């Protein structure tokens, strides 16, 4: 640090970090698809394996020493991951991924809307005349569950549009969010544009009409310092596999008083206090949302991923990604026939950029880059409405992470510069 300025990771530091990632050291390819899934350091791989080797047992069930040890590891992981986003153990629910977490919320709201949960769940009940607000740039995981909730309850679905650059129209947001709005669901960072949403502005609009807020933090928690309570949102979701953790594990963060009032989505063993043949009583959150056998080894490994990130410092990770994002945007803006999607060079973004290459389909762009040893994502990135609003069907996306060097970005730019001439569409 120099004063309050956080120094980004140097390329030499990044190259040293890469030694912790077996796939990166064993593959000659440049990996620029971390927005889809991140690579895993040895510490995370070892944590999952070591749990099975030394502590494998069912949690919250057995009274024997091994079960107690497994349960302690499971709950300690909850404390670590919750603290990483500014929360407490009472506020973090384990899920399989962020998609399941959003579905958990929407189905809990559905159950409340049928009268489940009693008076305490009244805040979650929706019906005709109520409105759910999302945005035009959402990943399908933060759109389709809300469409389905609207269909089940009779509520109306509305959305905040994007402008010609793909940025949220905050002026329109003030018109869309109104007295009938009950829920506002939006992304912290767009997985297509890399733009960072003005969360406080949308939270203020939602709170002004008494609406709940749900934040898709999948592209922010891995890349930025995030304090969910400080952001003012009511619920948030994120996935382990995007933040150096294993697949099959995600999390729902929610304010404790809201989670306790919300009726469960999945029911069965481990989430109850008393069961008769006629009825059941449920444990407080977060346990009431964790029915059945849990993904304990993955939970433990995710906590190790968090420790790895904390060892580097999220401020430095964010500073590094800022540098990558600016280098990507500036380089792409100079390429003839390449349209940069999202914020212009110099504007705030994470280390991610998507482009449309004139005259060449995104899948063909990706194939040429793959042959050249550069792995990127192509397609609509589970954001068809955003692409449609921009007059596109698909884009090519490069997304870096803490193990991405500036040399990787420069190699991507150099290979992309030759794509149009390869297909003889330059000029």
Tokens of residue 88, six digits: 């407490």
Q: Give the HSE-up count for residue 244: Cα atoms under 13 Å, Cβ half-sphere.
A: 32
- Find all residues with CB under 8 Å of 16, minimum gap 6, and list them: none
Strand pairing partners for 339?
356
Instruction: Give the containing element (helix H, strand E) for 99.
Output: helix 98-113
Q: How would you class 159 by CB atoms within 10 Å of its CB: exposed for 0-12, middle for 13-18, buried for 19 or more?
A: buried
Q: What are the percentages of helix, strand and coil residues in the chain, rounded to 5?
A: 45, 15, 40
Q: Taking the CB of residue 23, how many other CB atoms lie within 10 A of it? A: 12
- Find all residues with CB under 8 Å of 80, minimum gap 6, and list them: 303, 306, 307
- State the Cα angle at 284 between 215 and 281, rounded to 5°: 125
- Find all residues with CB under 8 Å of 215, minimum gap 6, and list them: 185, 186, 187, 188, 199, 228, 231, 233, 235, 236, 237
Catalytic residue among 256, 333, 335, 382: 382
**How many residues comprise the chain?**
427
Tokens of residue 38, six digits: 């991140």
CA distance 28 to 86: 38
User: What are the φ/ψ torsions at residue 399 (nearest 5 degrees)?
Assistant: -135, 125
- In the residue annotation, 218 being an active-site residue is answered as no
- Find all residues with CB under 8 Å of 310, minimum gap 6, and list them: 84
Give the residue from 24, 31, 38 showing the smallest Cα distance to 374: 31
Tokens of residue 102, six digits: 């959003």
CA distance 85 to 220: 10
DSSP 33: B
Do residues 93 and 81 lie in contact, with contact meaning Cβ atoms separated by under 8 Å? no
Give the residue from 403, 411, 408 showing the smallest Cα distance to 19: 403
Q: Which residues are known catalytic residues? A: 382
């Amino acid at each position: 640090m120099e004063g309050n300025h956080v120094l980004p990771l140097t390329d030499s530091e990044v190259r040293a970090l890469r030694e912790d990632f077996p796939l990166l050291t064993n593959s000659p390819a440049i990996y620029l698809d971390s927005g889809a899934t991140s690579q895993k350091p040895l510490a995370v791989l070892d944590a999952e394996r070591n749990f099975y080797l030394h502590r494998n047992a069912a949690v919250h069930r057995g009274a024997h020493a091994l079960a107690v040890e497994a349960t302690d590891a499971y709950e300690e992981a909850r404390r670590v991951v919750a603290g990483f986003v500014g929360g407490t153990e009472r506020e973090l629910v384990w899920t399989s991924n962020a998609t399941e977490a959003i579905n958990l919320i929407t189905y809990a709201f559905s159950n409340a809307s049928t009268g489940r949960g009693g008076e305490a769940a009244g805040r979650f009940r929706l019906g005709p005349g109520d409105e759910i607000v999302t945005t035009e740039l959402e990943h399908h995981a933060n759109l389709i569950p809300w469409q389905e909730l609207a269909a089940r309850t009779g509520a109306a679905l509305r959305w905040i549009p994007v402008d010609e650059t793909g940025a949220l129209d905050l002026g329109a947001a003030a018109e869309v969010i109104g007295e009938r709005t009950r829920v506002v669901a939006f992304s912290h960072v767009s997985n297509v544009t890399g733009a960072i949403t003005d969360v406080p502005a949308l939270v203020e609009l939602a709170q002004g009409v008494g609406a709940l807020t749900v934040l898709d933090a999948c592209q922010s928690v891995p890349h930025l310092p995030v304090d969910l309570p400080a952001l003012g949102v009511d619920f948030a979701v994120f996935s382990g596999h995007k933040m150096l953790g294993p697949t099959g594990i995600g999390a729902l963060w929610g304010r404790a008083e809201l989670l306790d009032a919300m009726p469960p989505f999945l029911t069965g063993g481990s989430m109850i206090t008393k069961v008769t043949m006629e009825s059941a009583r449920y444990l407080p959150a977060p346990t009431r949302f964790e029915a059945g056998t849990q993904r304990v080894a993955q939970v433990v490994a995710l906590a190790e991923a968090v420790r790895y990130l904390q060892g580097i410092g999220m401020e430095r990770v964010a500073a590094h990604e800022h540098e990558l994002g600016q280098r990507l945007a500036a380089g792409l803006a100079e390429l003839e026939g390449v349209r940069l999607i999202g914020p212009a060079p110099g504007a705030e973004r994470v280390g991610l950029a998507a482009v449309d290459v004139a005259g060449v389909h995104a899948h063909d762009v990706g194939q040429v880059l793959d042959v050249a040893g550069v792995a990127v994502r192509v397609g609509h990135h589970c954001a068809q409405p955003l692409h449609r609003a921009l007059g596109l069907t698909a884009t090519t996306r490069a997304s870096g992470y803490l193990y991405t060097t500036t040399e990787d970005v420069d190699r991507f730019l150099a290979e992309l510069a030759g794509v149009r001439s390869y297909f003889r569409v330059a000029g």
